[in-house]
Amino acid sequence: MKPVLIINFKTYKKGKENLKIAKIAEKVDRNIIVGVPAPDIKEISSKTKLKVYAEHVDPFFPGRNTGFIIPEEVKADGAVGTFLNHSEHKLDFRTLKETMKRCKDVGLKTAVFASSLAEAKKIEKLKPDYLAYEPPELVGGNISVSTAKPDLIKKISNSLHMKFLVGAGVKNYEDVTASMKLGASGVAVASGITKAKNPKREIEKLLGK
Ligand code: G3P
């Protein structure tokens, strides 16, 4: 089965540089999900056919919420979904639940991150569209989740009823196939692409092209 691939742009780059990576990703495979900074959503959504996600939204309604990002806004800019609860943007469970409800009402998909099996089990009950397990200590490094945590990925696979992705340190096709053999249906990556000299080559490598 083809892996689901999420590229999390984080805040490594900005504006035109992000659009450039998105266009490269689109050329390799337009089914890739990209999570991009809020100010870049509109341009990347209008200039590519990728599935564009926000990296976060807040649960608020239009009104007095200075500096927050509401689901309606990213949806209007062309996002089809949003990440939530990434280890770099943790939410308490109540806020996560509330935000997921807002996203559902507005028609935004959710890709929710979990840092442990226990958290993944709680999140599964909220029925996200995607659930991704990422051990925070491996994020941004060179040791992949499938190398460092094979037993835990297997355990997650045996414990969850829904499909899940894994992320952290994923750089190549071997990491992807190893993750899938352990039960994941895809991967979430960031630095391997956003910091690459040749992002096209790196995306192709991840997809075994
Ligand atoms: O969401 C994906 C991300 O946190 C993984 O980061 O740099 O280890 O691929 P990275």
Segment 90-110, tens digit of pLDDT: 999 999 999 999 999 999 999
Please give the distance, rounded to the nearest whole angstrom, from the Cα atom of residue 33 to the centre of ligand 1: 14
The verdict on the CB of residue 187 being under 6 Å from ligand 1 is: no
Among 53, 171, 189, 202, the mutation site with the greatest number of ligand 1 atoms within 8 A of its Cβ is 189
Closest alpha carbon to 196 in 43, 12, 11, 3: 12
CA distance 116 to 114: 6
- Kindly report, residue by residue over 35-84, the tens digit of the pLDDT: 999 999 999 999 999 999 999 999 999 999 999 999 999 999 999 999 99
Q: Which entry of 55, 56, 73, 86 is annotated as an active-site residue?
A: 86
Q: Return the number of other C-beta atoms located less than 10 Å from residue 208's C-beta.
A: 12
pLDDT reported for residue 1: 83
Q: What is the pLDDT of residue 170?
A: 98
Q: For residue 67, is it left (φ>0), alpha (ψ between -120 and 50) or beta? A: left
pTM for the model: 0.97
β-sheet bridge partners, residue 119: none
Q: How far is the CA of 62 from the centre of ligand 1 (A)?
A: 31
